[in-house]
Amino acid sequence: MSTAAVTAGIVVLAVGSFALRAGGVLLRDRMPLGDDAERLVERGTVVLLVAVALVSALTDGTGAAPVSRAAGVAVGAAAALLKAPLVVVVIAAAGTAAGLRALGV
């Protein structure tokens, strides 16, 4: 694939993304959503962010991520669910992944 084709694709996607965002801002007051639709959009946003985070955390290129990374994500998620401070969550997740990698897992 040529550089020009990649650049053109990036420009088209950037313009389309900006148009969608601008459309949302401009049409927000003209097309009010009901309460059910608002909740659905909020939940959809959360589901999308969680899905992106999981795919990023649990895959590496075309295959599965190392077990150490998955374990680090699991420990970090557990610490977050227990409402630990963010610093503790990050240190626990990183420490778990680093420890397992040091052990060769």
Q: How far apart are CA 36 and CA 67, in angstroms?
A: 40
DSSP string, 67-102: HHHHHHHHHHHHHHHTT--HHHHHHHHHHHHHHHHH
Residue 76 pLDDT: 95
Report how far apart the first and last C-alpha atoms of the chain are (Å, whole number).
38
- Would you list the domain boundaries of the chain? 1-32
Tens of pLDDT, residue by residue over 12-28, are 999 999 998 998 888 87
| Residue 47: both structure tokens together | 């589901």
Question: Is 72 in contact with 94 (CB distance < 8 Å)?
Answer: yes
Q: How far apart are CA 4 and CA 46, in angstroms?
A: 36
Tens of pLDDT, residue by residue over 49-60, are 999 988 988 898
